[in-house]
């Protein structure tokens, strides 16, 4: 059966009366429902009556509260939340919910109306599985994010978001910038970065809003970005970003090659001390020279950071196999030798390098070695790497998918490589824990909430795993639906109607915690007075995903808020790759869609 969710019928034909509610079977005893009610006068509080063709035993809903249940579960009176009480003429109140039933009599039908408005039964439409589709997203659902006007189906312009995210990584570049630098307010920086014996350590990405280079999150981000690029390369082509993406991803790969010396068995993992974050505020172009550097060695090992960098290099080698074979071979050689170093000399890098512990304290290294091994198997098809990956693999359901825990990433790649149902079950268990009814709380507006520190980063990373799992045939409908809901939350489906991606839409963060963008153009001075400035950052840090709101959807656009308004290279990685997945779906499966509802039909229809 073709799924039908969020089918939005043009309310211009439903004059202040009933509107249809559409349902689709999601699980054996649950259906997803949605409706949109037009607002004909200003409201300061509202109630909506929801009627169903059959009894509903439980109604899970975020946009409203159920205040009364009537007619044996066939009618519900819904009341606004505190954050959406005020509605204005021309708005629409759109509600999504999950309806649980005790029995199955076919797909539910229903209708809804706004209390206090005349119900005009002459305009009532029958609710069937073939409700006419006549509206575009901009017509039926107001949004303060950037609605899609690109001609590609989808609620938001995901192609635009994809290009913006790449620009964020360009803004993070350290070293001598290329002639095709895309960020006009950035210039050459940190040209004196050198190893203990004069090794050239220029390049790479600054980690966040500060000016330190941390290889662990940098390599993690590079691996995730490369994984998404390989899986959905067509998305980058469609968005006109393929060349830009190759250029962007090569920047950290070149840097990793500089950091690794296979002869000396030394790998530089950090440039700059964490104290720099609290002692310096300004442009990277104004950083002091000869920053302190840190490395892991045979006597002071770092299997985690070396392992994830080997994964990044191996993934890069696959990317460049056809584009630049000699460069791809160089990446693969470095990946294999660095992996050998990581597995021969075991240890946690933040123990060997205490300077890293305050920012990126690692909890282990088997997960990184697992990911490195499986990527090397993908690059070489040497079965010894696959056997290694199985050895390092853990069946545990991890806390999250992040720079510190890549367990579920390895589980998913092992399933992709082997089709062993054991790995599939592990991935399913992890994703189930993140979905409604799992172990995570949800914010009132529907975001899965793992941690207040970079809340959107965790959410987007798991959305990426969900889309990747769907590509491997794991719970396709459910995983795509969930990933889409979380990404749309980030782009504007939240109580602030705010895009949490800087530069996207008409309302987005103006004060991301980012030194370079907070500074005026040179030669003007930039220091802590700019940090404390009440105004917006002089430069728009296009594409940056900020940390995000807390568990109540509360967010403060303040530069001083390093919990909610920080940006970082690992924040954007899973987010960008998920966006690439949505662009891929929109261009390969939605080419005939004329409305957002049809987009969702195609998105949620299992591949045959």
Q: What domains appear along the chain, each with residue ranges and CATH number?
A: 11-140 (2.60.40.290), 158-273+299-604 (1.50.10.10)
Residues composing the chain? 608
* Angle (nearest 5°) at CA 352 between 350 and 354: 55
Asked if pLDDT for residue 228 goes beyond 90, the answer is yes
Q: How many CA atoms lie within 13 A of 66 on its CB side?
A: 18
Tell me how far the alpha carbon of residue 559 is from its chain's centroid: 22
Residue 545 DSSP symbol? B
Asked if pLDDT for residue 396 goes beyond 70, the answer is yes
pLDDT band at 589 (very low <50, low <70, confident <90, very high): low
What token pair was written down for 542? 């296009």
d(C-alpha 436, C-alpha 569), whole Å: 28
d(C-alpha 596, C-alpha 92), whole Å: 16
Asked if pLDDT for residue 580 goes beyond 50, the answer is yes
d(C-alpha 382, C-alpha 470), whole Å: 27
Nearest to 513 by CA among 490, 489, 547, 542: 547
Residue 126 DSSP symbol? P
d(C-alpha 23, C-alpha 43), whole Å: 27
The listed range with the strongest mean pLDDT (136-150, 228-242, 268-282) is 228-242
Asked if pLDDT for residue 605 goes beyond 60, the answer is no
Nearest to 289 by CA among 205, 195, 192: 192
* Angle (nearest 5°) at CA 346 between 342 and 352: 100
Q: Under DSSP, is residue 78 helix (H, G, I), strand (E, B) or coil?
A: strand
d(C-alpha 426, C-alpha 410), whole Å: 10
Asked if pLDDT for residue 285 goes beyond 70, the answer is yes
Query: Other CB atoms closer than 10 Å to residue 418's CB: what's the count?
Result: 15
% of residues, the chain, pLDDT over 90: 69
Asked if residue 492 lies in contact with residue 143, where contact means CB atoms within 8 angstroms, the answer is yes
| 526-571 pLDDT per residue, tens | 999 999 999 999 999 999 999 999 999 999 999 999 999 999 999 9
Helix, strand, coil % in the chain, rounded to nearest 5: 40, 15, 45
Given CA atoms 502, 507, 512, 514 in this order, what sign does their dihedral have?
positive
pTM for the full model?
A: 0.77
DSSP state string for 267-320? EEEEES-TTHHHH--S-GGGPPSS--EEEEESSS--HHHHHHHHHHHHHHHHHT
pLDDT at 119: 44
Burial class (CB in 10 A: 0-12, 13-18, 19+), 419: exposed
pLDDT band at 149 (very low <50, low <70, confident <90, very high): low
| 366-395 pLDDT per residue, tens | 999 999 999 999 999 999 999 999 999 999
Asked if pLDDT for residue 47 goes beyond 60, the answer is yes
What token pair was written down for 104? 């199955």
Q: Under DSSP, is residue 194 helix (H, G, I), strand (E, B) or coil?
A: strand
Asked if residue 144 lies in contact with residue 35, where contact means CB atoms within 8 angstroms, the answer is no
The catalytic residue positions are 557, 566
Bridge partners of 32, per DSSP, are: 24, 98
List, in order, residues 6 or more apart from 105 with CB less than 8 Å away: 54
What token pair was written down for 555? 């967010």
d(C-alpha 543, C-alpha 168), whole Å: 5
What token pair was written down for 225? 């970005």
Asked if pLDDT for residue 89 goes beyond 90, the answer is no
Q: Under DSSP, is residue 203 helix (H, G, I), strand (E, B) or coil?
A: coil
| 420-441 pLDDT per residue, tens | 999 999 999 999 999 999 999 9
d(C-alpha 127, C-alpha 50), whole Å: 13
pLDDT at 73: 85
d(C-alpha 346, C-alpha 383), whole Å: 22
What token pair was written down for 110? 């229903």
pLDDT at 143: 40
Helix (H) or strand (E) holding 35: strand 30-38
Asked if pLDDT for residue 239 goes beyond 70, the answer is yes
């Amino acid at each position: 059966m073709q799924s039908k969710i969020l089918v939005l019928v043009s309310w211009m034909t439903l004059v202040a009366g009933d509107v249809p509610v559409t349902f689709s079977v999601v699980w054996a005893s649950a259906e997803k429902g949605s409706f949109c009610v037009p607002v004909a006068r200003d409201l300061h509080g509202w109630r909506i009556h929801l009627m169903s063709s059959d009894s509903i035993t439980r109604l899970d809903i975020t946009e409203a509260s159920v205040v009364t249940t009537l007619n044996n579960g066939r009618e519900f009176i819904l009341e606004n939340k505190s954050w959406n009480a005020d509605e204005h003429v021309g708005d629409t109140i759109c509600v999504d919910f999950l309806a649980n039933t005790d029995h199955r009599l076919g797909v539910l039908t229903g209708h809804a109306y706004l209390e206090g408005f005349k119900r005009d039964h002459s305009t009532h439409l029958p609710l069937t599985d073939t409700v006419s589709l006549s509206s575009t997203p901009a017509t039926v659902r107001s949004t303060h994010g950037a609605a899609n006007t690109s001609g590609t189906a989808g609620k938001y312009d995901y192609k635009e978001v994809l290009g913006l995210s790449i620009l964020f990584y360009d803004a993070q570049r350290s070293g001598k910038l290329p002639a095709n630098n895309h960020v006009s307010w950035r210039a050459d920086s940190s040209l004196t970065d050198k190893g203990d014996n004069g090794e050239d350590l220029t390049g790479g990405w600054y980690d966040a809003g500060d000016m330190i280079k941390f290889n662990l999150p940098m390599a993690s981000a590079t691996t995730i970005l490369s994984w998404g690029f390989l899986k959905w390369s067509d998305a980058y082509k469609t968005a006109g970003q393929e060349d830009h993406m190759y250029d962007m991803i090569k920047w950290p790969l070149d840097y990793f090659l500089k950091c690794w010396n296979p002869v000396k068995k030394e790998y530089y993992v950090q440039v700059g001390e964490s104290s720099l974050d609290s002692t310096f505020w300004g442009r990277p172009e104004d950083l002091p020279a000869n920053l302190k550097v840190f490395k892991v060695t045979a006597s002071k090992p770092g299997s985690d950071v070396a392992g994830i960098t080997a994964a990044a290099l191996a993934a890069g080698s696959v990317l460049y196999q056809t584009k630049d074979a000699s460069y791809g071979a160089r990446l693969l050689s470095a990946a294999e030798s660095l992996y050998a170093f990581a597995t021969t000399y075991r240890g946690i890098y933040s123990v060997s390098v205490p300077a890293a512990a305050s920012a990126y304290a690692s909890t282990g290294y088997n997960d990184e070695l697992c990911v490195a091994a499986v990527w090397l198997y993908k690059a070489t098809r040497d079965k010894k790497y696959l056997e290694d990956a199985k050895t390092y693999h853990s069946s545990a359901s991890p806390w999250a998918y992040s720079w510190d825990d890549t367990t579920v990433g390895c589980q998913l790649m092992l399933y992709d490589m082997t089709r062993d149902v054991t790995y599939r079950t592990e991935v399913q268990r992890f994703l189930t824990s993140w979905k409604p009814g799992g172990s995570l709380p949800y914010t009132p507006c529907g975001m899965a909430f793992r941690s207040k520190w970079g809340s959107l980063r965790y959410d987007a990373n798991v959305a990426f795993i969900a889309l990747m799992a769907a590509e491997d045939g794991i719970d396709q409908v459910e995983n795509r639906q969930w990933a889409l809901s979380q990404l749309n939350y980030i782009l504007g489906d939240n109580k602030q109607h705010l895009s949490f991606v800087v530069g996207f839409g008409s309302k987005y963060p103006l004060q991301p915690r980012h030194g370079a963008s907070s500074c005026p153009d040179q030669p003007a001075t930039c220091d802590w007075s700019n940090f404390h400035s009440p105004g917006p950052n002089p430069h728009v840090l296009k594409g940056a995903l900020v940390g995000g709101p807390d568990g109540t959807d509360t967010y403060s656009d303040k530069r001083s808020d390093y919990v909610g308004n920080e940006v970082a290279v690992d924040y954007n990685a899973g987010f960008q790759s998920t966006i690439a997945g949505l662009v891929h779906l929109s261009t390969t499966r939605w080419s005939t869609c004329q409305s957002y509802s049809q987009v969702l039909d195609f998105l949620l229809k299992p591949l045959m």
